Chain A
């Protein structure tokens, strides 16, 4: 029982990081209908930015802000140079999807050219583990969980109560209808990608911090887990995605903790395949249908 609680505690840390990455991914999807295969690279860029910032200033806070800013800029560039051009051209979902894979490939290798392919060790003093309720967390882990809670609350407020959030929801429901209703869909999409980039960049920082090492491919392997969480919750729905991320994060920690961490990716996909087959539109929607419905 005690061990299970400990695992649950670590699972919550993993879930917090996963939640931020997955919510950012699902926001990108919501406004452009593009499953961004280069989403992981935003996290990678965030990690490198945090590392450089930390080395330069020595401040963890500035490192976190630097990661978010770099992620935001990366997402903005992705959206303006590629995604938006594809979306406006109306080429359809698949070509854009394939293009994001190409983009991921390009960014990974640009990072290899700049920083080399070797692992970068990134260790921040974690502090001594402390008992928090039934869980055992280091202060850094506590910060991760608190910051994730804070960010999701802010996102919740933005999406639910602000005018921008309303426009975001309108664009995600029906982009054309939103446009004829006087919403600048392109601006909303650009702003949403920037916002998602900020969150994903920060997620890259806390991921690098808790893993302790990263390289140019680091975001992509985590992206595969992100994808599982987002699809499990329901693509394009931020709050369902959040729930999906918590479930997947904890589930992975348990399989990793009890069976073997090296199979984590395989487990993630076993979960994903099961969900997608049983509930193609996410855990929180109903009804099986024929392929044409």
Chain B
């Protein structure tokens, strides 16, 4: 009985490590990886070929060394991480969703077939055996005490892994990783290098798979193709799902339920004479059914992922709290982007807090493009076609710095495509895009975002599973705080990985947009208008040099519209140039200093709203015969 208990607990610890590793990939990064059990298997195989030495023919396999177990375990971790890196480099670059899953399924089957068929690798279907009580001899343990020792060893590693995961979970890296899971486009728009971050998470997960595999090999003392199947990952998925995807305590609970309990209970079922596989098959049926039922009825699991809950001190009133801007003490209109070292740029920023009305005065009398104001963005000869459809055709325009530029035009004029091209979400066929002196065409979205050009989306792209406050906090991309390795040595609670300064700033912004009561709410639960406000709040937090707002007034009521006008004034006051794509012309007339009209892929007119109202081609293309009143 005690032996049985020991083995169940050891197995639980090993599967716990496995599930925690997979949770990084699926729980946080959001990728349904079917190759994961391959990393476990590779870890097990590698541990064996590094410890069992040469065995007499016909057994044949690579290496055949007799290294100490701990060294082999480390090598197992490294080899699984390397395989994870190779698979990740291929699968994560362009593929998401089911295509990613299909390629990872392919990868693990290639490993499975190679391990089974290519005998010189891991002795084919015979597999490897002979790792008996590693470390036991050196410690002089007999069989009985060795079981206690090995349980202790696995439990110790499990606890270390759990602490590591708690650290990652609470770090800024972990939070940013979850934002990729929630909405990749928005994450890229706010500076996250999604490929690199997903790859890091993937390799990290694979490494833990290898670690668990190395322990598993010692537990089984042998490993062969009948000991595993690529589809066994499904057991881990069901454990994570039942416990709570993304919540490390939930994952452990899930392993306890699905692997320890379900496994245990099946051992008490009576053996069916003549059908030894029935009990095992029944267990698998239960696991599969539980997976389907939880996906349908409780996808968040028994212990749902926790969002950071911000509790305010009692005296906090929300509005008007004097919190210094994150850009630096006292200079709210100056930028200090650490990566770009643009401090010298900030000296020419617009005058302190120019009200929008003041700023628009000089341009209103100038019908032509205001050449006196330096340009924030210059687009020249931009082209993009989709098959035979020319979406953007030799489009050129100039966006003055420190002002609001309206971009209008009929549906299908190419406005949205132009934004996608500027922000790097689509690749242009021809043309140049220069943002504050830097040529940006061809750069990926996160690089453009880091230069200080941030876009919003036609339909709000909040990170639905994160809180409103987390949404706002994540708008600021900070390479130092978000570094994976740095986050491991830092404080491991989200609460502590946020500085008082940025927390204060985020609270202040949320109060400004009337979202302070909703700050701990799941962003996905907000109304459409509130989601718009969250987008605006994120822009405030990010403090970009130029923001492109894609139809911000879409589906927004008049009261909310007023808030947006104020917000746009706030952007200008903070030194952010603004481009607004909009069909709501009264709104454009009210806020824009300068308007660009696009039709059929190119710019047909530019100037003040007044001057365009008299422009015949603008009337023909967009305003219609009856001039807008």
Contact = CB atoms under 8 A, between A and B. Distances in A.
Contacts of A93: 97-98
Interface stretch (A5-13, A112-120, A158-166): A112-120
A116 B98 contact: no
Nearest to B445: A292
Interface stretch (A46-54, A68-76, A149-157, A267-275): A267-275
Interface stretch (B72-80, B145-153, B285-293): B285-293
Contact of B296 (A89, A231, A270, A277): A89
Contact of B109 (A104, A262, A266): A266
B269 to A, nearest CB: 12
B98 A106 contact: no
A248 to B, nearest CB: 13
Contacts of A116: 275, 277
A2 interface: no
A98 B95 CA distance: 17
A181 interface: no
Given A101-B234, A102-B238, A280 B94 contact: yes
Interface in B259-306: 275, 277-278, 281-282, 284-285, 287-289, 291-292, 295-296, 299
Contact of A94 (B97, B284, B292): B97
A7 B113 CA distance: 23
Contacts of B295: 86, 91, 95-96, 98-99, 102
A122 to B, nearest CB: 20
Interface in A253-268: 260, 262-263, 265-266, 268
Interface stretch (A126-134, A137-145, A192-200, A283-291): A283-291
A168 B426 CA distance: 32
Contact of B103 (A35, A260, A272, A289): A272
B387 A98 contact: no
- Most chain A beta-carbon contacts within 10 A, residue among B102, B194, B287: B102
A105 interface: yes
B99 A276 contact: yes
Interface string B225-265: 00000010010011000000000000000000000000000
A259 to B, nearest CB: 12
Given A85-B296, A102-B288, A265 B32 contact: no
A82 interface: yes
A191 interface: no
B95 to A, nearest CB: 6
B611 to A, nearest CB: 36
A220 B117 CA distance: 19
A102 B292 CA distance: 6
B90 interface: yes
B201 interface: no
Interface in A219-241: 220, 224, 227, 231
B110 interface: yes
B106 interface: yes
B114 interface: yes
A265 B113 contact: yes
A131 to B, nearest CB: 34
B94 A113 contact: no
Given A91-B295, A102-B234, A265 B109 contact: yes
Contacts of B420: 292
A97 interface: yes
A112 B296 contact: no
- Most chain A beta-carbon contacts within 10 A, residue among B107, B184, B188, B277: B277
Contact of A273 (B103, B113, B231, B291): B103
A98 B289 contact: no
A77 interface: no
Contacts of B105: 224, 227, 269
Contacts of B188: 292
Given A98-B295, A280-B95, A292-B426, A224 B281 contact: no
Interface in B101-127: 101-103, 105-107, 109-110, 113-114, 117
B277 A98 contact: no
- Most chain B beta-carbon contacts within 10 A, residue among A272, A286, A290: A290
A224 B98 CA distance: 14
Interface in A38-93: 82, 85-86, 89, 91, 93
A113 B266 CA distance: 14
A150 to B, nearest CB: 30
Nearest to B188: A292
Contacts of B172: none
B285 A110 contact: yes
Interface in B146-191: 184-185, 188
Contacts of A227: 102, 105
B525 to A, nearest CB: 15
A260 B117 CA distance: 10
A105 B288 contact: yes
A116 B105 CA distance: 26
Contacts of B117: 260, 262-263
B94 A102 contact: no
A262 B102 contact: no
Contacts of A210: none
A95 B234 contact: no
Contacts of B281: 109-110, 112-113, 117
Interface in B293-339: 295-296, 299
A183 interface: no
A93 B97 CA distance: 8
A104 B444 CA distance: 39
Nearest to A220: B231
A105 B109 CA distance: 17
A32 to B, nearest CB: 12
Contacts of B427: 289-290, 293
Nearest to A286: B387
A98 B32 contact: yes
Nearest to B34: A101
A103 interface: yes
24 contacts: A35-B98, A82-B296, A85-B296, A89-B296, A91-B299, A93-B97, A97-B98, A98-B32, A98-B295, A101-B291, A102-B234, A105-B291, A110-B285, A113-B278, A117-B277, A220-B231, A227-B105, A262-B117, A269-B106, A270-B106, A280-B94, A290-B426, A292-B185, A292-B445
Q: Which 8 A-B pairs have the closest CB atoms?
A: A269-B106, A105-B288, A102-B291, A106-B288, A112-B281, A109-B281, A109-B284, A102-B292
Given A82-B296, A277-B94, 14 more contacts: A89-B296, A93-B97, A105-B234, A106-B288, A109-B285, A224-B106, A224-B109, A260-B117, A263-B117, A265-B110, A268-B106, A269-B106, A272-B103, A280-B99
